[in-house]
Chains A and B, each alone.
Chain A
Amino acid sequence: MMADLLAVALAGTAAAGETLPESGSPVDALLPAATGDAAAERRLLLAAGAEAIYRLAGYVPAVAGEPPSPAPDESLPACSPAAALLLRLVVVGPHEDLLPEALDRLRRAGLRLPFDLLPLALGRREPELRAALLPVLGERGRWLSDFNRAWAWAAETLSGDAEDMPPDAETVWQEGSAGQRIALLRRLRAVDAACAREWVAAVWKQEKADFRQDMLRALAVGLGAGDEPLIEAALDDRAAGVRAEAAELLARLPSSAYIGRMISRAGALLAFGAGGKLDARPPKALPADAVRDGIAEKPPRGTGERAWWLGQILARVPPSHWSERFGSPPDVLIAAAGGSSWRRALLEGWTRAAARFEDRDWAVALWSAWRVAPAKERQTHALEDDDDLRLAIAHLLPPDVLELAATAALEQAVTTDDTALDETLALLHVPWSAELGAAYLRGLRARCERLAKTSREVGAYVETLDRAAHALPPACFDAALDPLPVPDDNSHWSIRQLRQQFDGLTETIRLRTRLIEAIPVPDADN
């Protein structure tokens, strides 16, 4: 046996003696002829070598158990080989930036990712990418995710139609992973909200704080008046995260006692004063019941306490309440508050309320108000905050309002250095309309032509080329690939930068052209 030879070899022939064990294999018979009267060390080595080869040649494979069950058949067809090739560039790099668009096309075309890209796809961590990946992983992707704990997110969407509950729902709810249980709860909410609520109530006390918070968040699906008692009780939870989540949910229930309490708090806050001026009278101290309702006591640095409280309370009152109470449309009320020293807090509170209650009328009026904010105010407050607030209501605006704003910004940026151009474009739905795409390319060219005549500064456009490369619609591709009228002057860094950016745009547009050809989406204009 090899083990006997090994024992002698490990100890050394000096210690173990010169008598060698026999291997017990046919190799023994061959050795005397080969080794003759060689020393013990040599005989040991030759015996070990022969035994090693004998065992190599006589390798006996292990007999393992039955393999795990194979992946179910796919319901979605695979994409074409050409598409698979492109997807590889996009998933593995170097064109990761096109991943969201590629995945979206794949989903709309009703296709799935090629199998060999699944491990890389499952390894992605970005939540928005995961959401885009889920519909294109196919059965194989979900099957595969079972073998790697880091990929469990893929199985958290349960297989089958969103409307059907899996047959083993009760078992999953009792024994599944946290992710699976929440996924199941969300689905049950969509089918039978009351039943889901009973499930939550039954386990509420025994679950950890994080999971209680996750369960509350799941109740957002199909939220209704019947949920109020459970959520109201959660306002007194010992975990701050659960209390905050409960306040968020109650603030979305228009008929809740919570909203009623907010309206009564707000009742004394706003009043018309002399000369049609709308003014605010924020509380001087924050009552305990307001704290219970999720109003944070301590303001962030740079904001006064009273303005902070005012903003938070307003943010939880449906804006329509004000239109009805004062009998005036939003734009009139906003204008009337223009002279108030609390103007900024009022605008912020209303904007957050418009976003929360999805009030389109108020959103349009507030959008204009933010556009015309006095220059002084724009300087004293960080611009990012303004943009955050505008972003929060941008999705409530009719597309033409946003597009109008963007078109104006594009024209303006031809002659001036409006640094907010990229931020304005960021609010637009992607892909852009053909009209906006044309306006963009027109503006970019006009700016380049000015470069030759006046200055060498490229201005705000240079920051937008990357965004445009991903947002331009296919109808604009040909025009986008036309060379830019840039002066032949490499000495200026800003022109070099523009050239570089434009090369990047060209490459992205070319790849998008190939993606669109390789993954055709039926019944779509692009």
Chain B
Amino acid sequence: MAYTADQVLALAPDSGSAANGRKLANARHWKALGRSEAAVWGECQGSAVYQVRAELASMAVKCTCPSHKFPCKHGLALLLLAVDPGAVPVAEPPDWVASWLAKRAAPDHAKPAKAETTAGVDTPTGPTKEQQRRIEKREALIAQGIAALDLWLADLVRGGLAAVEGQSAAFWERPAAQLVDAQAPGLAARLRRTAEIPGSSDDWPERLLAQIGRLALLTHAYRRADALDPALREDVREMAGWFLKEEEVAARGEHVGDDWLVLGQYAQEEERGRSQRTWLVGATTGRPALIVQFAFMHSPFKETYVVGSRLRGELAFWPGAAPLRAFVVAREVIADPVAALPAAAGIEEFLASVAAALARNPWQERFLCVLRGAIPVYDTASGCWDVREPGGVSLPLRDAEHWRLLALSGGRPVTLTAEWDGATLLPLGVLAEGSYVQLAGVA
């Protein structure tokens, strides 16, 4: 067995699932337990009998229970049982296990991804020798790239940040291009975003220091990725540039079914195209999800998500310590538009959830914020916008005009959805008089 109980528990979507999984990880709750080289399976007695199976190589789990959580407590319990090789007898897999394993191995389910884009962790089928060789080659390149980046960052600090303002674009572009050559496009993109900070506001030196500090922490984490919690390792490798394909996300990521409310959307210019971010929240799970799409030049985005609509379906989340980015596996549009928002919180409660998310993934940059009882305020004297709670606790809005929000609220408390970037809120939509109105991305 290659994994530990801690690694299993790290897969738990929340502490409740982990505790319940631990409780069920006892043979007396199980019937027909068995294991082979590839898999472990069993039937668990819950409110019905559930068939639970897990692939050992990937720790991928499937269960017949109706839980929205993934993995569910049954899956966690089965994996925990299998940590002890003596606890589960070796047997011939029954049909419902064999057919599932065959389906997972089939190329249309988990396409053998190109080595360059495979995250270097175990894929369901395992990399071929050729793929393994390429992964190792790329690892070596990235290690060189990171070493060069760390030296460049150290030089930057040695010479002092004050010297940075007024540097030409090439000052930042050269190390960024080197990172692209080193096949670490994620780090390159981070460095390019950093290049926009100098001179962009009064407090730019502080923001720049924070940003390159976090970049240094990322390279630090990447170097010692093996020691990291497996879920956080996924985040760190993705941020460096081991981008997962949707097939890989579908195969390895958590799948969550729910009624997903499309809360907001905005597009940004990118190098050679545009990106679009769409925020969703699960009506019953209350889980936030971020769908990111890219389009080259003037071509349209692949999928269309209508703000204010509801999708019933399943999302697959990118694996990580606090999974947020997702794509839609299957969906149908529900006729009724959004009329109520789940998981709305007060400002303090929301900030506590931000702290909790940062504790899992310290590099998370965007947070979905659903505020209830928020009063949008425009201070004519200072020209500043914020949202306030009746007690006066407030968060600033992003630097722009928010007249529609002010018009829709009329100075009264509303339920507001927004994206928090750690400093300001970008309003996405507002629930006023029983209907949801899109704010970001509308004239």
Name A residues whose Cβ lies closer than 8 Å to a Cβ of B. Answer: 2, 5-6, 9-16, 34, 39, 41-42, 44-53, 55-59, 61-71, 78, 81, 92, 115-116, 118-120, 140, 143-144, 147-148
Encoded as 1 (CB less than 8 Å from any A CB) or 0, chain B from 319 to 359 comes to 00000000000000000000000000001100100110011
Q: Which of B123-167 contact A (CB under 8 A)?
A: 150, 153-155, 157-163
Contact, CB under 8 Å: B351 / A9: no
- Give the nearest-CB partner of A13 in chain B: B158
Q: Are A92 and B443 in contact (CB under 8 A)?
A: yes
In the complex, what distance in Å separates the CA atom of A143 from the CA atom of B161? 47
- The stretch of B66-74, B98-106, B287-295, B385-393 that contacts the partner chain: B385-393
Enumerate chain A residues within 8 angstroms of B212, measured Cβ to Cβ: 45, 48-49
Contacts of B388 in A (CB 8 A): 64, 67
B273 on interface, CB distance cutoff 8 Å: no
Q: Which of B398-443 contact A (CB under 8 A)?
A: 403-404, 406-408, 410-412, 422, 432-433, 435, 437, 443
Q: Is the CB of A41 within 8 A of B411?
A: no
- Check if B351 sits within 8 Å of A59, measured CB to CB: yes
Number of A-B contacts (CB under 8 A): 159
- Residues in B with CB closer than 8 Å to A44 are 157
Give 28 CB contacts A-B under 8 Å: A9-B205, A12-B159, A13-B157, A16-B160, A41-B153, A45-B216, A46-B213, A46-B216, A48-B209, A48-B212, A48-B216, A55-B210, A56-B422, A58-B355, A61-B394, A62-B393, A62-B394, A63-B391, A67-B375, A67-B388, A67-B390, A70-B410, A71-B411, A71-B412, A115-B432, A118-B403, A140-B407, A144-B407
Point out the residue from A11, A13, A61, A147 that lies within 8 Å of B406, measured CB to CB: A147
Q: Which residues of A contact B408 (CB under 8 A)?
A: 115-116
Q: 7 tightest A-B contacts by CB?
A: A12-B160, A49-B213, A48-B213, A52-B210, A70-B411, A71-B410, A45-B216
Which of B163, B407, B435 has a CB less than 8 Å from the CB of A119?
A: B407
CB-based contact A6/B205 at 8 Å: yes
CA distance A66 to B394 in the complex (A): 11
Q: A10-B160, A53-B362, A59-B422 are in contact. Are A41 and B377 (CB under 8 A)?
A: no
Whether A47 lies near B213 (C-beta < 8 A) is: yes
A42–B216 CB distance below 8 A: yes
Nearest-neighbor residue (CB-CB) of A41 within chain B: B154
Q: Which residue of A lies closest to B410 (CB)?
A: A71
Which of these, B154, B216, B403, B432, contacts A144 with CB under 8 Å?
B403
Task: List, in ascending order, chain A residues with CB within 8 A of B378's CB.
Answer: 147
Cα A61 to Cα B157 with chains together (Å): 31
B392 pairs with A65, CB closer than 8 A:
yes
Kindly state the separation between the CA atoms of A68 and B409 in the bound complex, as whole angstroms: 12
Nearest-neighbour CB distance to chain B for A112, whole angstroms, equals 12
Docked-complex contact A42 and B150, CB < 8 angstroms: yes
Which residues of A are found within 8 Å of B347, using beta-carbon distances? 61
Any A CB within 8 A of the CB of B220: yes
Q: Which residues on the A side are within 8 Å of B380 (C-beta)?
A: 147
State how many angstroms separate the Cβ of B394 from the closest Cβ of chain A: 4
Measured in the bound complex, the distance between the Cα atoms of B158 and A13 in whole Å is 5
Residue in B157, B358, B412, B422 with the greatest tally of chain A CB atoms within 10 Å: B157
Chain A residue with Cβ nearest B216: A45
List A contacts of B404 (CB < 8 A): 116, 119
- CA A13 – CA B404 in complex, angstroms? 48
Q: For residue B166, give the distance in angstroms from its CB to the closest CB of chain A.
A: 14
Of the residues B153, B159, B209, B354, contact of A6 by C-beta under 8 Å? B209
The residue in chain B whose Cβ has the minimal distance to the Cβ of A35 is B220
CB distance from A267 to the nearest CB of B (A): 61
Q: Check if A144 sits within 8 Å of B406, measured CB to CB.
A: yes
Q: Which residue of A63, A115, A120, A148 has the most chain B CB atoms within 10 A of its CB atom? A: A115
Residues in B with CB closer than 8 Å to A120 are 443
Q: CB-CB < 8 A to B394: which residues of A?
A: 61-64
- B215 x A49 contact (CB < 8 A): yes
Once the chains bind, are A115 and B407 in contact (CB under 8 Å)?
yes
Report A-chain residues with C-beta under 8 Å of the C-beta of B407.
115-116, 118-119, 140, 144
Do most interface residues of chain B lie in helix, strand or loop, or is the interface mixed? Answer: helix
Residues of chain B in range 354-378 having any CB-CB distance to chain A below 8 Å? 354-355, 358-359, 362, 375, 377-378
A51 cross-chain contacts in B, Cβ below 8 A: 210, 213
Given the interface pairs A64-B388, A66-B392, the reply to whether A14 lies near B206 with Cβ below 8 Å is no
Nearest chain B CB to A159's CB is how many angstroms away? Answer: 15
- Contact residue among B209, B214, B410 (Cβ-Cβ distance under 8 Å from A53): B214
Establish whether residues B410 and A143, one from each chain, have CB atoms under 8 Å apart when the complex forms: yes
| Contact residue among A9, A16, A63 (Cβ-Cβ distance under 8 Å from B393) | A63
Query: Chain B nearest CB: distance from A387 CB in Å?
Result: 38
CA distance A68 to B390 in the complex (A): 11
Bound Cα distance from A49 to B391, whole angstroms: 33
Q: Chain A residues with Cβ under 8 A from B158's Cβ?
A: 12-14, 41
Query: Which B10-54 residues have C-beta < 8 A from chain A?
Result: none
Partner of A9 from the list B209, B348, B354, B391 (CB cut-off 8 Å) is B209
Given A42-B154, A49-B216: A9 touches B403 (CB 8 Å cut-off): no
Instruction: Tell me the smallest distance from the CB of A14 to a CB of chain B, in Å.
Output: 5
Inter-chain contacts of B359 with A (CB < 8 A): 57
Q: How far is the CB of B282 from chain A (nearest CB, A)?
A: 24
Partner of B411, one of A6, A61, A67, A78: A67
Could you tell me the distance between the alpha carbons of A48 and B380 in the complex, rounded to whole angstroms? 36
Q: Known contacts being A9-B161, A10-B160, A14-B159, is A64 close to B392, with CB within 8 Å? A: yes
Q: Give the chain A neighbours of B217 by CB distance below 8 A.
A: 46, 49-50, 53
Q: Does B5 sit at the interface, judged by CB under 8 A?
A: no
User: Which residues of chain B come closer than 8 Å to A48, judged between CB atoms?
Assistant: 209-210, 212-213, 216
Q: B395: CB under 8 A from chain A?
A: yes
Tell me the minimal C-beta distance from A52 to chain B in angstroms: 3
CA distance A52 to B207 in the complex (A): 9
Give Cα distance in the complex from A81 to B392, angstroms: 34
Query: What is the bound-complex CA distance between A51 and B209, given in angstroms?
Result: 10
Excluding A12-B162, A56-B354, 17 further A-B contacts by CB distance (< 8 Å) are: A14-B160, A16-B160, A41-B154, A45-B153, A48-B209, A49-B215, A52-B209, A53-B214, A61-B347, A61-B348, A61-B351, A67-B388, A70-B411, A116-B407, A119-B404, A140-B407, A148-B403
| Separation of A57 and B154 alpha carbons in the complex (Å) | 26
Shortest distance in angstroms between B9's beta carbon and chain A's nearest beta carbon?
23
Q: Which residues of A contact B392 (CB under 8 A)?
A: 63-66
- A65 contacts across to B, CB distance below 8 A: 392
In the complex the two chains form, what is the Cα distance from A59 to B378 in whole Å?
A: 22
Least CB distance from A362 to B in Å reads: 50
* CB within 8 Å for A52 and B163 given contacts A10-B205, A65-B392, A144-B406: no
Indicate the member of A13, A34, A52 with the most B CB atoms within 10 Å.
A52
Interfacial chain A residues near B395, Cβ < 8 Å: 61-62
Most B CB atoms within 10 A — which of A34, A55, A62?
A62
Which residue on A lies nearest to B224, using beta carbons? A34
Residues of chain B with a CB closer than 8 A to A143's CB: 410-411
Q: How far is the CA of A118 from the CA of B407 in the complex (A)?
A: 7
Closest to B217 in A: A49
Q: How far apart are B151's CB and chain A's nearest CB, in angstroms?
A: 9
Please, how many angstroms separate the alpha-carbon atoms of A351 and B240 in the complex?
83
Write the nearest CB–CB distance from A62 to chain B, whole angstroms: 5
**Assembly CA distance A39 to B48 (angstroms):** 60
Contacts of B155 in A (CB 8 A): 41
Pick the contact of A52 from B162, B213, B393, B443 — CB < 8 Å?
B213
- Looking across the interface, which residue of chain B has its beta carbon closest to that of A15? B160
Return chain A residues, CB-CB under 8 Å to B210.
2, 48-49, 51-52, 55
Closest to B214 in A: A49
B430 (CB) vs chain A CBs: closest residue: A116
CB-CB under 8 A from A71, the residues of chain B are 410-412
For the complex, what is the distance from the CA of A53 to the CA of B150, rounded to whole Å? 19
Given contacts A12-B163, A66-B392, contact A39 B154 (CB under 8 A): yes
Which residues of A lie under 8 Å from residue B351 when comparing CB positions?
59, 61
| A69 with B213, Cβ < 8 A, contacts A13-B158, A144-B403 known | no
B233-283 residues with Cβ-Cβ distance < 8 A to A are none
